[in-house]
Amino acid sequence: MKKTHNLSYRTQIFIASLSLVIFPSVMLGLFAVNDSTGKVIAEYSSSLAAITSQANLTLDTLLQDATKVTNMPILSEDIRRIMNTNYQDDYLSYAQDSTIFRDYFSQTNQLNSTLESCIFESRHGYTFEYNTVTALHTKTMSDNIQKWAPIARQLPNYTYFAPLQNISGRGKDKMVLPMIKILRDKNDYKEIGVCYCEINFKPIENILVSAQSTENILLIYNADNELAFSSSPALMQEPEEYADLLAALAGFNESLTGKGNIIEGELKVGRARYRVNGCINQTTNWRLVHFADNHMAYQIYRDNVLNYVRIFILCLVLGMFLAILLSTNLTRSIFRLCRQIDSLNPEDGGRIDEQACGSNQELRKLVASFNQLSLRLTTSIQQNYQLQINEQKMRIQMLQFQINHHFLYNTLNIIKSLANIHNVPEIETISLCMSDLLRYNLERFPVALLREELQQVNRYMTIQNIRFPGKFTFDCNIPSSLLKMPIPVFLLQPLVENSIEHGFSCREANCYISITSNLEGNRLHLLIADNGNGIEADRLAVLNCECADAAVCEKNDNRHHSIGIRNVCQRIRSYFGPSYGLTIESMPGEGTIIDIVLPAPDTPQRV
């Protein structure tokens, strides 16, 4: 930034003009690219979620139809009787009941073509088969019951969908979904047997594969979090080649919670990114994971970026042309103004003719401000010169006061010693106060602390109370936070002395003087109040006029009775500036208030 400020005005305008063109175009372009890409990704994710939801619903519908056969022991009293019968050696009854069981099952399964085979095992260990292929098939189903029934008993709905199985028979192989359900009596809710069904998975597979496109793949993980199905055979046939992808999908699968709720996310595998969603099937407790490559969305993003680059180059060329045009037109008038400033004549007041800058309104305002600044500088130089003269006068006066001050100190010390010898404490106190007054006035120049000024007033009032016992009451109420404030020396005592000399000249008692403070914004008011004779209105107007106008003070310098007030006012202005000083309020016969206006302690001040 500092290097930019060191460049010429024309160069800065050129850079600023380019920035005004480039920066908005860059931001708008990035916003448009991100917005369009975000919309595509959102629509793509919504489409994937809809496919996942539809597949989940279809899986629920097909499996629920197939599991209706498990309700036979509850709906049919004959089947319930068969499941609770212990045939022992009654093989005839067992054969007859097996026939009844198969007839019921055939009727129940007429509208459900997905159920391939089924076997019921009663509570007494008797089995009732339907549509088994071979004896080996029957034995395998019985072994599976022994293997998976304990798992089903631990589940809330007593139903367990086992991993997919391949069965052979009748000249072809089939992929079936085993289902084990624990059957319970509807009356006492005791276990009456186990149902083992094999559901044809082909219709489900056809629906899942039909939902697949070239970009998306649907996976099914069983209740043991094992990959049971993939709509893309390559993932099942070549797991080593897709190991990283399968590991990432397995991690997402384990993060799924809540049945029926579709969870969405994004996976990064190497350089590839995938949109992924999934849910837990309510019927099987299996997990459906649906994912797709994000390459289509990023292709749209790249196309948008290329279009944006073309637009950016066009804006850059137009911006350079505009920057050159603006910088040339603006700096031409500035160079003309610089020549006017260089040719100024101080004898003419240091002013520039506004008409010489042409019709540019901004430059005219600049010229007007320059002329006002020149006028203020001239006035300020004159005021500073006058203040320096006044300060020099004060220094000369102080030097005159310091002549033979050692003689005065020694004399006061002699008086103090004699008063101590003759036991006259009043004279000793007056001598000590006078010595401190004299030393303070000669040594504390030109600045003192407010605390020291108040001590000086207390010394003066001590002398007056010794001179006029019981006549004066002095009250000082200044916050301790203001006592370290620097102010011009000898500021308060002359005003207090003025109140005593003029305000109480005709009174012998009940003379009250107070010093208080009031903080108002960035100004501090020190108030010196008395209940003396007051000041007449015409005289008060003259005093306030003298305090408000330094020139009037200079003209009326010969008026002895207002020297103290004017001296304090001049020194306040010399130290703090012309915006500070003092004002007087008075009512004849009631009293007078002198308001000394100073900058607050934390306000920057002119020294």
Residues 212, 291 contacting (CB under 8 angstroms): no
What number of residues does the chain have? 607
Residues 561, 502 contacting (CB under 8 angstroms): yes
Among 129-133, 327-331, 480-484, the minimum mean pLDDT is found in 327-331
Tokens describing residue 297: 């969305």
Residue 448 and residue 371 in one domain: no
Tabulate helix, strand, coil % of the chain (nearest 5). Answer: 55, 20, 25
Please report the pLDDT score of residue 170 as a whole number.
56
Residue 372 and residue 452 in one domain: no
Q: How many CB atoms lie within 10 A of CB 244?
A: 12
Nearest to 41 by CA among 248, 278, 300, 306: 300
Q: Which residues touch 143 (CB under 8 Å, ≥6 apart)?
A: none
Average pLDDT for 490-499:
88
Read off the pLDDT band of 475 (50, 70, 90): very high
| Assigned domain for 214 exists | no
Average pLDDT for 499-528:
89
Stated as kind and residue range, the H or E segment containing 127 is: strand 127-130
Residue 456 and residue 363 in one domain: no
Stated as kind and residue range, the H or E segment containing 35 is: helix 9-66
Q: Residue 570: which CATH number?
A: 3.30.565.10
Residue 454 and residue 372 in one domain: no
Q: Which of 360, 377, 394 is the last residue of a domain?
A: 377
- 317 pLDDT exceeds 80? no
Please report the pLDDT score of residue 513 as a whole number.
93
Q: Which residues touch 526 (CB under 8 Å, ≥6 apart)?
A: 492, 515, 516, 517, 595, 596, 598
Read off the pLDDT band of 49 (50, 70, 90): confident
Residue 593 and residue 449 in one domain: yes
| Assigned domain for 384 exists | no
Please report the pLDDT score of residue 46 as a whole number.
81
Buried/exposed 183-216: b ≥16 CB within 10 Å, e otherwise: bebeeeeeebbbbbbbbbbeebeebbeebbeebb
Nearest to 570 by CA among 561, 559, 580: 580
Residue 457 and residue 357 in one domain: no
Give the pLDDT confidence of 325-356 residue by residue, as tens digits.
766 766 677 777 777 777 766 656 667 766 65
- 381 pLDDT exceeds 80? no
- 4 pLDDT exceeds 60? no
| Assigned domain for 19 exists | no
Tokens describing residue 494: 């002359």
Among 12-16, 106-110, 183-187, 210-214, the minimum mean pLDDT is found in 210-214
Give the pLDDT confidence of 233-250 residue by residue, as tens digits.
788 778 888 888 888 888
Residue 490 and residue 577 in one domain: yes
Please report the pLDDT score of residue 607 as a whole number.
46
Nearest to 262 by CA among 248, 247, 243, 275: 275
- 320 pLDDT exceeds 70? yes
Give the pLDDT confidence of 572-594 residue by residue, as tens digits.
888 888 888 899 999 998 899 99
Q: Which residues touch 62 (CB under 8 Å, ≥6 apart)?
A: 114, 199, 203, 204, 207
Please report the pLDDT score of residue 563 as a whole number.
66
Average pLDDT for 109-136:
80
Q: Which of 377, 395, 428 is the last residue of a domain?
A: 377
| Assigned domain for 414 exists | no
Domain that holds residue 525: 444-599
| Assigned domain for 48 exists | no
Nearest to 19 by CA among 316, 297, 357, 225: 316
Q: How many CB atoms lie within 10 A of CB 495?
A: 22
Buried/exposed 100-120: b ≥16 CB within 10 Å, e otherwise: bbeebbeebbeeeebbbbbbb
Residue 453 and residue 364 in one domain: no
Please report the pLDDT score of residue 479 as a whole number.
92
Read off the pLDDT band of 550 (50, 70, 90): low
**Which residues are 120's β-sheet partners?**
128, 195
| Assigned domain for 10 exists | no
Q: Which SS3 state, helix, strand or coil, does residue 51 take?
A: helix
- 561 pLDDT exceeds 60? no
* Domain count within the chain: 2
Nearest to 494 by CA among 565, 558, 545: 565
Residue 467 and residue 589 in one domain: yes
Residue 357 and residue 484 in one domain: no
- Residue 150, CA distances (Å) to 145, 158, 212 in order: 9, 9, 36
Residue 499 and residue 367 in one domain: no
Q: Which of 377, 397, 425 is the last residue of a domain?
A: 377
Q: Which residues touch 116 (CB under 8 Å, ≥6 apart)?
A: 131, 167, 174, 176, 198, 199, 200
Give the pLDDT confidence of 248-297 residue by residue, as tens digits.
888 888 888 876 688 888 888 888 888 888 888 887 888 888 888 777 66
Please report the pLDDT score of residue 379 as a whole number.
74
Rounded CA gap, 546 and 565, in Å? Answer: 9
Greater pLDDT, 13 or 433: 433
Residue 450 and residue 574 in one domain: yes
Residues 511, 474 contacting (CB under 8 angstroms): no
Average pLDDT for 42-46:
77
| Assigned domain for 570 exists | yes
Please report the pLDDT score of residue 398 as a whole number.
56
| Assigned domain for 501 exists | yes
Residues 284, 223 contacting (CB under 8 angstroms): yes
Torsion of CA 95, 96, 101, 103, to 10 degrees: 120
Tokens describing residue 67: 């599991």
Taking the whole predicted model, whether its pTM rises above 0.85 is answered as no
Please report the pLDDT score of residue 553 as a whole number.
46
